Structure 1
Amino acid sequence: MSETAPEQTLERAAASRPAPFLLLAAVVAVLVPARAAARPLEDIDLYWHILIGREILDGTPVAEAGRGWSFAPVPDTWISTQWLAEILFAWLHDTFGFQSIVVYRTVTVILALVTLALVTLYRRPARAGAWPFAVAGLALAITSQDRSQQLTYILAPLVGWWALRLLREGRLPRWWVVLPLVVVWANFHGGWLILPMALGFAVVARVLEVGIRDRAVIGGVLLAAGCGLAAAVSPSGLDNALSLLRFSSSTGQIGEWGTVRLIDWQSMAIGLMLVTVVVAWALGRHRPSRGEVVYVVLLFAFGYSAWRSSTPACLMLAPAVTGILARALGDPDPLPEGTEQPLARVAAGIAVVGVLLSGVLAVTQTPVLDPDIPQDLLGQVREHPEPQRVLNTYNVAGPLLFFGGPPPQVLVAVDGRADRYGGEYIDEYVDTLLLARPGWEEMVADLDPTSAVLRDDEPLAGALVAQLGWVEVAREGRTVLLRPADATGWPAG
């Protein structure tokens, strides 16, 4: 027997061991829902969303919900574009309490992972799909919140899959599935726009592949246009289809609309996805087609356009990146019918256990509310014998309306409805008033507030005391409650 036989036997044994690619996906399926379940409620706008939903459930027409909440000098014509989500949040809170919103966040993260797994792991090579699944799962872990955007996260992988099939095979999703879905989606969250956008990207890419006369190209254009019409089936009509344009252009003060930085922990996921594609294209066995390059580059451009776009872009890219990796590695994609993935049952078992544990954690997680919310301080606003016109810091508006109100006990100078106030007012409010820059006194006089709830490190808080003689009523954490010197009905500060 040869002296190298033992070494050859060991090499063959090692080669025959199943590679644990799916175990990486299983770990992600455990950790990401656990993180969603273990955090308190973080969306500062959740509270006014609940109030909007509560008004609608009490019989207020959608087009009138949220009216009369503010004394800002801007038209009070705002109509909610996510009223279905607000109804859901109000019903969950009023039926089961704030804990149910944590459960909502956890369940929607799990559903997003399920959709992601279907387009990256089901009948696709594990060593090609596990990494995009993990990276997109990381994006979910970073950005998932108690917000209506969770529905977009659930559907984004499916949108990416539909667009990829259009590019690859000229296959379109059924219009009678897509259009009713858009009607619901557009009244739940503005992320519905990624569907016609992805179809448009795929149409452009397919034109480069097969030409403009392709039937799928024409069908894709018609379906994308149909999505815009379906989004207009809303209390705000066609304006609902244009709502994202109003949000994105309203002000530079909203962080989620800011440009994505290349080096930042929040951009880690889309950065990893970009590196993966570049390496796979550079080292792969086959060069990518022009259409594939254009489609993927357009999705990356969308992902880097704003913070709120990076996670949907990662989720839409995941099925395409799986195919890119499969081709680079020489794996069949899709896998032949009946192919068994190594360690698939073990990975599925681990994922199921993780889902169950995250469910238990969501139900028992404490604290449920962000400890930074000054509930006792806001309770003093609620207990004042007269309604209050509150000069407020931007991010305290939601809790102020909820715990200090509801309206008309509290009227705010600004709140999270950026499209209601417009960029000019918000920029002036934040850059001039809150920073106590020249002109702030005139703004205070014009607004004529009866009290103020501000961050103690905001220049306006100190200026009101030092220059206008306002008095501190209470302080909790980083928040201070102030009143004019001649105001009555407040406890001694």
Structure 2
Amino acid sequence: MAAPASGGPRFPLLARAYPLIAAALAAALLVALDRRPLRSFDTYFHLRFGQEFLDGWSIAHPGQLSTASTNDWVPTQWLPQVVLARIADDLGTTGLVLAFSLLVVGFAVATYLLLRRHADSAVAITLTLVVILGCLPSLSLRPQVLSYLFLVAVLGAWDRARASGRAPWPLVPLGWLWATCHGMWVVGVAACAFLAVLVVLERRPGRGRALALLAVPAGMLLASLATPVGPRLLSAVLLVNSRSDFFAEWAAPDLVSIGAAPLTALAALAVVLLVRRRDVGLYELGLLAMGGAFAVYSGRTLPLALITLAALVASELGRRRPHRPVGRSEALVVLGLAAVVLAVAPSQSLLDDPAARVRPFASRLDALPAGSRVLTDWPVGGVLLWLEPRLDVPLHGYGDVYTEDELQRYADLDHLEPGWDDTVDRLAPRVALLPDDSALAYALERDGWSVQQRTKELVLLAPPPGQTRTDPNRPD
């Protein structure tokens, strides 16, 4: 048997088949993910807020869903919220499933094409799988997935600018779009500014071209502040930074865990590859630093770290293995697999839908008078906002609408800290719908609240006779 040609793969058949096998695995993973588009309760409050904007809320000065939240908040996700609400109105759950499938397929394909620019198909699809696996906890029908997709666009644009020296002006309108879709728009502007400086320092262009490159992030910032919300978007950034104590995904992540293994592996591989090089460029070091910053900043920015580090690893591995650009047959395979995932998505039964826990209580909730206040935890409240819009749901998890004092008060309520019963009295709920094993549900039962209905997961409680009253702070 003849030996393989010098420099060729040891197992040429496996080398040819592997990218197709890995691509099929990625498609199967996306098909499985499509069965869980609504697994995050956040999807439901996004739908409700989108419906309120459709029904007349001002984007610049939106209203409140309950007198239990009083913060003068700034909408940072209004465009996808409106789009999702419109899809739900016109196409129902099928439309939402298709929207989610399109979102995750688009993210996967864009990531693959970004990585494929620097590496062969085997490396690109392997790293794409690693990114998808690492992002799984964050992939649901929420506007934040758009931020992941937009970061791919930013990295790709500066990749091309680094090679050509031309300013990536399309990022300026992307800045406007990003600022209407998700609060991480400021991360996009910061990343754009950082990469622009790296390209200028590395290429050392003339003054005119350098100014053009640096004008791109400035243009992104100006475009971001020209949305219907206006400059108030900057105050929303400061608001998020002050609330990491109340929302786990904005706290520093635990990088020593199974869930963080894809990120840890990419970071370690990136460091090893760069250490082995003698001519490491400033741009590569910048990508490593940016990926590291995303990794340690918060749980919500972990996907951004995965994307950034995968791009760096692809670039380094591509230096060691020659590769051809994407050809027609490869493009057809990618588009074909994407089409299969999109076609299969609507026919699947849904899993992990938090609304399924709440629907058994629909008849009792529907019997309540309009405006009745229902005490919940964050997940149940988020679902009720959409399923029962006629009710007053004070706790629902959309943190922007609460002051810090309100967030602290409701956190104390959940943990039965001193004063929790005063908070219940202040809310004056007509009923409570809570996890059956929660400390608050147990405390309310102990205090005389009666069980109206119970399932394996939730319990509906009513206050003792004579305790139900109208909240004096609630308008008639």
Counterparts in 2 of 1:52-67, with a 5 A limit?
A: 52-63=49-60, 65=62, 67=63
**Is the Cα–Cα contact under 8 Å of residues 71 and 389 in structure 1 kept in the other structure?**
no
Larger mean Cα displacement after TM superposition, 450-459 or 216-225: 216-225
CA separation of 1:144/1:280 partners in 2, compared to 1, >3 Å: closer, same or farther? same
Unaligned stretches of 5+ in structure 1?
1-5
Which of 309, 312, 317 aligns to 2:304? It is 312
Aligned to 1:478: 457
Aligned to 1:387: 371
CA separation of 1:465/1:71 partners in 2, compared to 1, >3 Å: closer, same or farther? farther
- In the alignment, does 2:158 pair up with 1:158? no
> What is the letter of the counterpart of residue 98 of structure 2?
V
Shift of 1:44: 0.5
Shift of 1:128: 4.7
**Is the Cα–Cα contact under 8 Å of residues 101 and 342 in structure 2 kept in the other structure?**
yes
Aligned to 2:132: 137
Shift of 1:205: 3.0
Which of 221, 238, 244 aligns to 1:228? It is 221
- In the alignment, does 2:87 pair up with 1:104? no
Aligned to 2:338: 355
**Is the Cα–Cα contact under 8 Å of residues 389 and 449 in structure 1 kept in the other structure?**
yes
> What is the letter of the counterpart of residue 429 of structure 2?
P
SS of the equivalent of 1:91 reads helix
CA distance in 1 between partners of 2:422 and 2:214 (Å): 52
**Is the Cα–Cα contact under 8 Å of residues 414 and 439 in structure 2 kept in the other structure?**
yes
Which of 410, 423, 433 aligns to 2:404? It is 423
CA separation of 1:366/1:276 partners in 2, compared to 1, >3 Å: closer, same or farther? same
Shift of 1:220: 3.8
What do the CA deviations read for 1:337-377 (whole angstroms, capped 9, x no partner)? Answer: xx687xx83x6565445333322331112136346522122
Which of 66, 70, 78 aligns to 1:70? It is 66
Aligned to 1:283: 276
> What is the letter of the counterpart of residue 331 of structure 1?
P
CA separation of 1:379/1:149 partners in 2, compared to 1, >3 Å: closer, same or farther? farther
Shift of 1:191: 3.0
**Is the Cα–Cα contact under 8 Å of residues 112 and 155 in structure 1 kept in the other structure?**
no
What do the CA deviations read for 1:285-339 (whole angstroms, capped 9, x no partner)? Answer: x431244213321222123311111112322343333222222x1537xx5xxx6
CA separation of 1:98/1:105 partners in 2, compared to 1, >3 Å: closer, same or farther? same
**Structure 1 length-normalised TM:** 0.84
- In the alignment, does 2:453 pair up with 1:462? no
**Is the Cα–Cα contact under 8 Å of residues 175 and 189 in structure 2 kept in the other structure?**
no
What do the CA deviations read for 1:188-216 (whole angstroms, capped 9, x no partner)? Answer: 22233333222222244346546697655
What do the CA deviations read for 1:15-68 (whole angstroms, capped 9, x no partner)? Answer: 583623533652354134213222251121222222222233234433455x34
Work out the percentage of aligned pairs sharing the same amino acid: 25
Larger mean Cα displacement after TM superposition, 351-360 or 13-22: 13-22
Larger mean Cα displacement after TM superposition, 347-356 or 40-49: 347-356
Shift of 1:249: 2.0
Aligned to 1:3: none
Aligned to 2:472: none
CA separation of 1:9/1:107 partners in 2, compared to 1, >3 Å: closer, same or farther? closer
- In the alignment, does 2:281 pair up with 1:303? no
Unaligned stretches of 5+ in structure 2?
469-476
> What is the letter of the counterpart of residue 358 of structure 1?
V
CA distance in 2 between partners of 1:304 and 1:167 (Å): 27
CA distance in 2 between partners of 1:268 and 1:318 (Å): 14
Shift of 1:242: 4.1
SS of the equivalent of 1:62 reads coil
Aligned to 1:93: 88
CA distance in 1 between partners of 2:321 and 2:334 (Å): 28
**Is the Cα–Cα contact under 8 Å of residues 119 and 321 in structure 2 kept in the other structure?**
no
**Is the Cα–Cα contact under 8 Å of residues 391 and 451 in structure 1 kept in the other structure?**
yes
CA distance in 2 between partners of 1:12 and 1:262 (Å): 38
> What is the letter of the counterpart of residue 485 of structure 1?
P
**Is the Cα–Cα contact under 8 Å of residues 159 and 316 in structure 1 kept in the other structure?**
no
CA separation of 1:449/1:167 partners in 2, compared to 1, >3 Å: closer, same or farther? same
**Is the Cα–Cα contact under 8 Å of residues 471 and 483 in structure 1 kept in the other structure?**
yes
Counterparts in 2 of 1:6-21, with a 5 A limit?
A: 6=1, 8=3, 15=10, 17=12, 19-20=15-16
SS of the equivalent of 1:97 reads helix
CA distance in 1 between partners of 2:284 and 2:46 (Å): 40
**Is the Cα–Cα contact under 8 Å of residues 259 and 304 in structure 1 kept in the other structure?**
yes
CA separation of 1:310/1:473 partners in 2, compared to 1, >3 Å: closer, same or farther? same
What do the CA deviations read for 1:153-208 (whole angstroms, capped 9, x no partner)? Answer: 3222121122334455543202xx22222222211222333332222222443465
CA distance in 1 between partners of 2:42 and 2:258 (Å): 23
Counterparts in 2 of 1:180-199, with a 5 A limit?
A: 180-199=173-192
- In the alignment, does 2:424 pair up with 1:444? yes
Aligned to 1:172: 167
Shift of 1:460: 1.6
